Amino acid sequence: MRIEGAAALVVGGASGLGEATARALHERGAHVVIADLDDERGAALAAQLGQRGRFVAADVTLPEQLEAAVAAACAAPGGLRISIQCAGIGYAERVARARGPHRLEAFEQVVAVNLTGTFNALRLASAAMLANEPDEQGERGVCVNTASIAAYDGQIGQIAYAASKGGVVAMTLPAARDLAGSGIRVCAIAPGLFDTPLLARLPAEARQQLADAIPFPPRLGDPTEFAALACQIVENTMLNGEVIRLDGALRMTSG
């Protein structure tokens, strides 16, 4: 899929991995629609991107808001051909402790945003892509979702997060198969430890300990590295139905 001249929707695009991806797509010539809950950051980023940038306030758990974001991307020059889903939340709690069981509401919220929200974006974006004329390789669109290495080796207290990201991993291949006949590809990236706003809140010592656990390179991932892989997935037509770990060979222990 050619990025230049296409319209791209980046859900969760106002910060972190999503912001880096929105910038990378824009640099490569895409018209970028940023969908996010953060009005201030989203609008500021769109303003920086200029005429090829637009912000739409959207909650991934509310279909009507995501529908508006998809419509905005469809109306952009080139039409919606690229959808990147980066919105997500985390919550730390064990299944059960002396004070009681894991709060069901917290588990449901994480799954609602990370898994159901990802599916919500995937179903709406891919449905819109069906109307596209296929390109010279027969492609109508590309969807890239964000999983996590926690889907494979979640740590203590990550049951909600790991379950939600495991669902993203599990739906990648069937989604790709569902859409293959229409020329729409689906992949996912499973990032490891990245230097995002979430980790930025940790003390410097804790951040360094996390970085030291990564075999190579022994540092936190840079969001631009996630963005580069997302763009490579878009451009490489043979990548389909795949979940790619981006983690510096990190395999997390139970701690």
* Class in CATH terms, 7-195+222-245: alpha beta
Taking residues 184-195, what's their average pLDDT?
96
CA-CA distance, 154 to 151, in Å (whole number)?
6
- Please tell me the pTM assigned to this model: 0.95
pLDDT at res. 78: 96
> For 56, how many CA atoms within 13 A lie in the half-sphere containing its CB?
24
Q: Which residues contact 120 (CB under 8 A, 6 or more apart)?
A: 60, 61, 63, 66
> For 106, how many CA atoms within 13 A lie in the half-sphere containing its CB?
14
Tens-digit pLDDT profile for residues 128-181 = 999 999 999 999 999 999 999 999 999 899 999 999 999 999 999 999 999 999
The one catalytic residue in 55, 91, 107, 161 is: 161
H or E element at residue 176: helix 159-180
Query: Is 152 tagged catalytic?
Result: no
Tens-digit pLDDT profile for residues 17-43 = 999 999 999 999 999 999 999 999 999
DSSP 50: G
